[in-house]
């Protein structure tokens, strides 16, 4: 993406290739966060803490559930952003094709 095109901050030039690359990086991020979330869902047996560690085991399990829940929120938000960027890329591509078609000159041996 590039910065503002002029003095008006609302005029922004968006490079479709850069935006598409951004979406690809978002996809990779989603995979990594999903891996972390899945790992956070893996529990340890309460017996691993021994006879006197059941209270500690429950505290750890609660923290683990909270962490997995937060990672699920991050996965959902990342997917939503990924989908919206994808829609933006498709809209920009369609707009470019519409503009090209509007100015296309037909006829003769070579179409421009």
Residue ranges covered by each domain of the chain: 16-100
Separation of alpha carbons 80 and 37, rounded Å = 17
Say if residue 65's pLDDT is above 80.
yes
Could you give the angle at the alpha carbon of 43 between the alpha carbons of 41 and 48, nearest 5°? Answer: 165
pLDDT, average across residues 96-107: 75
What contacts 57, CB < 8 A, 6 or more positions away?
Answer: 44, 46, 48, 49
Question: Helices 16-41 and 54-103, interaxial angle, to 10°?
Answer: 160
Are 33 and 25 a contacting pair, CB within 8 Å?
A: no
pTM of the model: 0.69
> For residue 50, what pLDDT is reported?
84
86 versus 43: the higher-pLDDT residue is 86
Q: How confident is the model at residue 6 (pLDDT cuts 50, 70, 90)?
A: low
Q: How confident is the model at residue 92 (pLDDT cuts 50, 70, 90)?
A: confident
């Amino acid at each position: 993406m590039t910065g503002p095109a002029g003095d008006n901050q609302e005029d922004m030039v968006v490079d479709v290739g850069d935006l598409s690359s951004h979406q690809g990086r978002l996809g990779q991020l989603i995979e990594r966060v999903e891996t972390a979330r899945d790992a956070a869902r893996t529990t340890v047996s309460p017996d691993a803490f021994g006879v006197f560690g059941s209270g500690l085991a429950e505290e750890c399990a609660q923290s683990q559930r909270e962490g997995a829940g937060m990672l699920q929120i991050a996965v959902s938000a990342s997917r939503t952003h990924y989908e919206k960027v994808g829609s933006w890329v498709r809209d920009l591509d369609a707009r470019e094709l519409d503009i090209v078609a509007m100015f296309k000159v037909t006829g003769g041996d070579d179409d421009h």
